Amino acid sequence: MRALSLIFTFFVFSSLYGQEFNYQINQEARFAYDIAQGKRENVFIATSKGLFEYNGSEFKCYNKDNALEKDFVHTLTPGVDNTLWFTYYHGGFGRIRNNIFYSFPL
């Protein structure tokens, strides 16, 4: 049910903000590999060029240049206490808690 809710949210979100979403993501990455909703109603998008966060009005891109160990974020899993867990495509994982990034290389 949660997955269906996320898919529905994504389609509503992309139809309402489709042009802005397509422009921002396509400037950085061609594909979204996973989508998750955070505790504060923000949306996270995993791409080959980093992790995008949409807060309802603007996008932020987190990548190797500013927050992540690697650029290619593959899967997202919301956790407890405002934590978002993620995996890198080429190994390793990380988490975001209260806007602080932690990486756990393998």
pLDDT of 76: 96
Place 41 in a pLDDT band, splitting at 50, 70 and 90: confident
What's the whole-number mean pLDDT along residues 22-49?
Answer: 78
- Beta partners for 59? 54
Contact 35, 10 (CB under 8 A): yes
Q: Give the pLDDT of residue 12.
A: 47
Report the distance separating Cα 58 and Cα 63, nearest Å: 17
Q: What is the mean pLDDT of residues 11-40?
A: 64
| Predicted local confidence at residue 68, as pLDDT | 92
pLDDT of residue 21: 52
pTM of the predicted model over 0.85: no
pLDDT, average across residues 11-18 = 48
* 37 touches 82 (CB < 8 A): no
Three-state DSSP class for residue 6? helix
